[in-house]
């Protein structure tokens, strides 16, 4: 079995450049918003401190616990599911640690009540399988778990959490701006109606102008969030594709290449309900199964 070196430089690999660009853009946007509320020479440092503190929380066990709640990951409780999944998980974990000795200890398996046959890793110690994954044969489940261990070994999950934190901060601050603007325009509408010296026509004009300002605020908020999410999708797509190929190679190096190919063949023909929520966007940017199968098959020929 080929040993895969696990080093911190995995975080700074070339395929993650687009993600770091997106994180920097998020930081600059946070700085801009905080400057709008209260501009001082120290606003940039406040932004960096806020962002850094949020990342520390996100990458801590607390952040990982919160993310499990958000994504619907729950502990295994049913004995029939434990009997199938836990021996498989332990076997793959052992092989992954043989391949990468520095793989974190204490990685745990969780389950999500989702009918799509899928799995994902997050944080440093969480792998979650959808209940629909039990539709696959045990060997194919092992291959998919090995792929997820690959994401943790390469620290792809760290980067994903950084992106999520950045998006959350930006969303909260932009929403705060939206609420502030709506409050200002609402008070303007009330003021227009209560002004004692204005004529009825004058009050009506002021009220209409405040209402138009409210509508424009809502439109601007929705357009900005749509545009910002599109930037994030575009920058994350290349990183996601490269990381998926690397995780596939990790599973192959652990001895599950052929089974991963068979799992991909099944998944490519699956037309059931797709997964939803926080990881749905990331899944949509994955490379197609035919490309991943072709790379695994080419790798098998070279060995």
Summarised one tens digit per residue, pLDDT across range 269-289 is: 765 454 444 444 445 556 778
How far from the centroid of its chain's Cα atoms is residue 85's Cα? 25
Integer Rg of the chain from CA? 24
Q: What percent of the chain has pLDDT over 90?
A: 25
pLDDT score at 54 = 77
Amino acid 4: pLDDT? 44
Residue 142 lies in a domain: yes
Report the alpha-carbon distance of residue 70 to residue 73 in Å, rounded: 8
CA distances from 34 to 93, 168, 169 (A): 44, 15, 11
| 72-93 tens-digit pLDDT | 899 999 999 999 999 999 999 9
In a domain, 58, yes or no: yes
Q: What integer pLDDT is reported at residue 227 of this predicted model?
A: 80
CA angle 231, 70, 23 (to 5 degrees): 30
Sign of the CA dihedral running 18, 23, 24, 26: positive
Range of weakest confidence among 94-108, 117-131, 258-272: 258-272
Please tell me whether residue 228 adopts helix, strand or coil conformation: helix
With 90 as the cut, is the pLDDT of residue 168 above it? Answer: no
Percent of the chain residues topping a pLDDT of 70: 78
Per-residue HEC secondary structure of 13-35 comes to: CHHHHHHHHHHHHHHHHHHHHHH
Q: How many CB atoms lie within 10 A of CB 275?
A: 22
Mean pLDDT of the chain: 79
Is residue 238's pLDDT more than 70?
no
Residue 89 within any structural domain of the chain? yes
- pLDDT band for 198, please (50, 70, 90 cuts): low
- Please indicate, yes or no, if residue 71 is contained in any of the structural domains: yes
Domain tally for the chain? Answer: 1
Question: 25 in a domain, yes or no?
Answer: yes
Phi-psi region of 181 (alpha: psi -120 to 50; beta: other; left: phi over 0): alpha
Q: Mind listing the pLDDT tens digit for each residue in 7-28?
A: 444 666 666 777 778 778 888 8
pLDDT tens string 104-115 = 889 999 999 988
Residue 244's domain is classified under what CATH number? 3.30.2010.10
The per-residue pLDDT for range 147-156, each reduced to its tens digit, is 999 999 988 8
- Locate 246 and state its tokens: 């690397």
How sure is the predictor about 5, in pLDDT bands with cuts at 50, 70 and 90?
very low
User: pTM (2 decimals)?
Assistant: 0.72
Strand order through the sheet with 126-130:
74-75, 108-112, 126-130, 119-122
Task: Give the per-residue pLDDT at 38.
Answer: 67
Task: Tell whether 48 is covered by a domain.
Answer: yes
Cα–Cα distance for residue pair 160/19, rounded to 1 Å? 9
Calculate the CA 143 to chain-centre distance: 22
Q: How far apart are CA 245 and CA 226, in angstroms?
A: 29
- Which structural domain range is residue 93 located in? 8-162+231-302
Q: What is the pLDDT of residue 248?
A: 93
pLDDT, average across residues 219-234: 77
Tell whether 203 is covered by a domain: no
SS3 for 167? helix
Condensed to tens digits (0 to 9), the pLDDT of residues 27-68 reads: 888 887 777 766 666 777 888 887 788 777 777 788 788 878
Confidence of residue 268 (pLDDT cuts 50, 70, 90): confident
pLDDT of residue 9: 47
**Residue 202 lies inside a defined structural domain of this protein:** no
């Amino acid at each position: 079995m080929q040993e895969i070196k696990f080093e911190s430089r995995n975080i700074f690999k070339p395929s993650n450049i687009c993600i770091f660009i997106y994180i920097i853009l998020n930081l600059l946007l946070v700085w801009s918003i905080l400057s709008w509320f209260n501009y001082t020479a120290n606003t940039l440092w406040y932004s960096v401190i806020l962002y850094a503190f949020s990342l520390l929380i996100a990458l801590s066990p607390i952040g990982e616990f919160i993310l499990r709640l958000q994504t619907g990951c729950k502990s295994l409780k049913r004995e029939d599911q434990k009997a199938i999944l836990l021996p498989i998980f332990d076997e793959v974990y052992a092989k992954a640690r043989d391949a990468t000795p520095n793989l974190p200890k204490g990685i745990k398996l969780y389950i999500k009540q989702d009918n799509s046959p899928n799995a994902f890793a997050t944080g440093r110690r969480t792998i979650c399988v959808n209940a629909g994954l039990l539709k696959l044969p045990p060997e194919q489940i092992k291959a998919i778990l090995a792929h997820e261990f690959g994401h943790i070994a390469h620290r792809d999950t760290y980067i994903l959490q950084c992106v999520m934190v950045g998006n959350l901060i930006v969303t909260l601050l932009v929403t705060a701006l939206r609420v502030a603007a709506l409050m200002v325009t609402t008070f303007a509408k009330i003021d227009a109606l209560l002004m004692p010296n204005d004529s009825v026509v004058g009050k009506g004009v002021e009220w209409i102008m405040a209402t138009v300002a409210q509508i424009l605020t809502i439109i601007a908020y929705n357009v900005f969030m749509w545009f910002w999410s599109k930037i994030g999708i575009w920058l994350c797509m290349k990183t996601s594709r490269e990381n998926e190929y690397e995780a596939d190679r990790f599973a192959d190096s652990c001895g599950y290449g052929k089974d991963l190919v068979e799992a991909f063949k099944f998944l490519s023909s699956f037309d059931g309900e797709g997964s939803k929520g926080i990881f749905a966007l990331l899944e949509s940017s994955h490379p197609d199964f035919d490309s991943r199968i072709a790379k695994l098959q080419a790798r098998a020929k070279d060995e």
